[in-house]
């Protein structure tokens, strides 16, 4: 029970593509995990399995002890999820949208009001609260998505590319926020940016073609590069691990 | 059930947040007018009733209800918001019901806006108000049945055009299953009771009974059953897409 998030033996295929091919993930409370991998490695699919949007072909997911397949409502209550691209209803304002989510998550009265104030504050959304989401810049849209994930103060956060498309200042802000939240929450975030992992994650997991190819601290990742590599050492490890693995991705017919 | 009402209110408001509601309502009322006064010979008949108006409803719905239904799930899929909905601590049943009821309520609003027609006949003559009430009820139930079919089909795709076409075709089938052309085709080789069963599936038959002022529980049950079955299929489609 010490693991807040426990995903065991996850498999998911789309037709002949094995998007997730035997992923195990055990994350204790207070750990920030950086989920790395090239495009198409299966990061988003793994997150969709963890959050219950997709059902795995095999394997199980437990969030704070609640099984996603057996007790989906209980398991989903523990999760705050930012899907890839931060989707939201374009015709609603940020205020309307977050109020809707608060209501559906059973936050009522003064609790709802406080929750909304808290997330508006955390991601600095105040100025655009009454603007339709479709008119917001990419950075603000992403913040609306992060606010939606934090609204019910969940113990587990699953963030799919939370800093994608943000400018350097916004990235910096989001990283600080994640570092703060990571003190007490369990966070899994996917990213392409390796410095981000060094900056905020206590643990890095690299997946390639649906399989975990590295699992350790950023320091351990760094140590995998030979001393002759002077700069961009994490890049070097990432490239080596995700380009030399040439196992076939197709299921033989 | 609280989640149903939360989803209902968000959905219902979303119709009026976009030009969709205005465009739809204008087209709906415009077509109602054309059908009733031009094609239906409302004045020429010299009778104070709304039969020409209600007679066209099945055909009006054939295209207008799919236009509402197509976006129900296809739009969520295209926007990616379906991922949000389905990772909320809400059951599939509540999601399907909430969205369906909102769309149905929107159609009810459109229908309610034809109220001036009723006032017109009441002013011109002495209509049988009971018949008009049951006709409205029948029309609303028929719209709901069309809508449930469309909602289930909309869950299959993220392409609204495909959803629209599928829905028109399916609704067409349900409308026409009572027509002699279709029935003659089946009667040739099917046992009579099967052909009758197909005929009894027709929306038209059930709607016509109600628009003559007869509220038969079987007609009401029929439409309710169609809605129930297709909303159930709707949830199954969503579950199936999740596991596929
Ligand atoms: N709904 C889907 N249907 C078919 N293939 C999919 C679907 N979603 C993802 N894939 C495929 O699964 C693989 C993993 O995708 P994804 O998890 O999105 O990767 P990542 O997030 O690491 O970039 C890719 O090859 C992608 O094309
Ligand atoms: Mg991805």
Contact residues on chain B for A106, CB-CB shorter than 8 A: 2
Measured CA to CA in angstroms, residue A45 lies from A17, A23, A51, B99, B210 at distances of: 12, 11, 10, 26, 50
Confidence check: pLDDT of B90 > 70 = yes
Ligand 2 is an ion; its neighbours by CB within 5 Å are: A 43-44, 84
Expressed in angstroms and rounded, the spacing between residue A19 Cα and the centre of ligand 2 is 11
A81 — alpha (psi -120 to 50), left (phi > 0) or beta?
beta
Nearest to B52 by CA among B60, B181, B20, B13: B60
Helix and strand counts by DSSP (H, E) for chain A: 9, 10
Nearest CA in chain A to B18: A91
Question: Which residue has tokens 């209600």?
Answer: B54
Chain B: closest CA distance from residue A195 (Å) = 28
DSSP states along A143-200:
HHHHHHHHTT--SEEEEESTTTT--HHHHHHHHHHHHHHTTTSEEEEE-S-HHHHHHH
> According to DSSP H, which parts of chain A are helical?
43-50, 72-77, 94-104, 109-122, 138-150, 168-181, 194-200, 218-223, 233-243
Most confident of A186-195, B33-42, B113-122: A186-195
Evaluate whether A146 touches A162 at the Cβ level (below 8 Å).
Answer: yes
Evaluate whether B144 touches B97 at the Cβ level (below 8 Å).
Answer: no
Burial of A84 (0-12, 13-18, 19+ CB in 10 A): middle
Give the pLDDT band of residue B57 (cuts 50, 70, 90): confident
Per-residue pLDDT tens over the stretch A198-232: 889 999 999 999 999 999 999 999 898 888 888 88
Measured CA to CA in angstroms, residue A181 lies from A4, A14, A126, A168, A177 at distances of: 15, 34, 20, 20, 6
**Spatial separation of the C-alpha atoms in residues A115 and A118, rounded to whole Å:** 5
Per-residue pLDDT tens over the stretch B103-136: 999 999 999 988 887 877 777 777 788 888 888 9
Ligand 1 pocket residue status of A40, Cβ below 6 Å: yes
Lowest mean pLDDT among A23-27, A107-111, A161-165, B91-95: A161-165
Tell me which residue has its CA closest to atom 18 in ligand 1: A44
Q: What is the reported pTM?
A: 0.91
Evaluate whether A186 touches A23 at the Cβ level (below 8 Å).
Answer: no
User: Is the CA virtual torsion A97, B66, B231, B144 positive or negative?
Assistant: positive
Q: Between residues B190 and B150, which one has the greater pLDDT? A: B150
Cβ-based neighbours of B13, under 8 Å, separated by 6 or more: none
Contact residues on chain A for B6, CB-CB shorter than 8 A: 100, 103-104
Contact residues on chain B for A161, CB-CB shorter than 8 A: none
Q: Does residue B17 sit at the A interface (CB-CB below 8 Å)?
A: yes
Ordered structural domains, chain A, with CATH: 1-78+156-245 (3.40.50.300), 79-153 (no CATH)
**Spatial separation of the C-alpha atoms in residues A57 and A157, rounded to whole Å:** 23
């Amino acid at each position: 029970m010490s693991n807040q998030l426990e995903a065991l033996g996850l498999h998911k295929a789309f037709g002949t593509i094995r998007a997730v091919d035997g992923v195990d993930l055990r994350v204790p409370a207070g750990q920030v995990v950086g989920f790395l991998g090239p495009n198409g490695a299966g990061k988003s699919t793994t997150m969709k399995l963890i959050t219950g949007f997709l059902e795995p072909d095999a394997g199980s997911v437990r969030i704070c002890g609640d099984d996603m397949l057996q007790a989906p409502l209980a398991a989903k209550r523990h999760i705050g999820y930012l899907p890839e691209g931060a989707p939201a209803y374009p015709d609603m304002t940020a205020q309307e949208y977050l109020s809707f989510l608060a209501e559906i998550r059973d936050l009522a009265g003064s609790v709802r009001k406080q929750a909304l104030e808290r997330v508006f504050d955390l991601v600095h959304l105040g100025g655009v609260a009454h603007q339709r989401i479709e008119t917001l810049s990419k950075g603000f849209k992403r913040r609306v998505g992060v606010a939606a994930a934090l609204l019910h103060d969940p113990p587990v956060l699953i963030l799919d590319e939370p800093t994608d498309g943000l400018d350097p200042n916004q990235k910096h802000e989001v990283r600080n926020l994640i570092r703060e939240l990571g003190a007490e929450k369990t966070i899994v975030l996917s990213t392409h940016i390796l410095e981000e992992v060094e900056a905020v994650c206590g643990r890095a997991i690299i997946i390639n073609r649906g399989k975990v190819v590295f699992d350790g601290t950023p320091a351990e990742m760094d140590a995998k590069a030979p001393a002759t590599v002077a700069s961009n050492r994490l890049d070097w490890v990432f490239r080596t691990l995700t380009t030399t693995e040439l196992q076939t991705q197709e299921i033989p017919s | 059930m609280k989640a149903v009402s939360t989803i209902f209110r968000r959905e219902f408001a979303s119709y009026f947040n976009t030009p969709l509601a205005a465009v739809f309502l204008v087209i709906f009322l415009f077509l109602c007018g054309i059908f009733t006064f031009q094609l239906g010979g409302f004045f020429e008949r010299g009778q104070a009733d709304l039969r020409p108006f209600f007679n066209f409803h099945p055909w009006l719905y054939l295209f207008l209800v799919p236009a509402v239904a197509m976006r129900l799930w296809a739009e969520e899929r295209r926007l990616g918001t379906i991922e949000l909905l389905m990772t909320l601590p809400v059951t599939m049943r509540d999601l399907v019901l909430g969205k369906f009821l909102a769309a149905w309520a929107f159609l009810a609003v459109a229908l309610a806006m034809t109220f001036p027609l009723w006032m017109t006949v009441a002013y011109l003559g002495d209509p049988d108000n009971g018949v008009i009430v049951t006709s409205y009820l029948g029309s609303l139930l028929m719209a709901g049945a069309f809508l449930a079919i469309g909602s289930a089909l909309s869950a299959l795709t993220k392409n609204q055009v495909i959803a629209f076409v599928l829905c028109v075709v399916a609704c067409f089938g349900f409308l026409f299953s009572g027509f002699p052309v279709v029935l003659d085709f089946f009667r040739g080789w099917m046992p009579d009771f099967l052909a009758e069963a197909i005929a009894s599936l027709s929306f038209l038959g059930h709607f016509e009974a109600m628009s003559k002022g007869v509220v038969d529980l079987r007609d009401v049950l029929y439409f309710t059953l169609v809605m129930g079955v297709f909303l159930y299929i709707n949830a199954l489609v969503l579950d199936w897409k999740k596991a596929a």
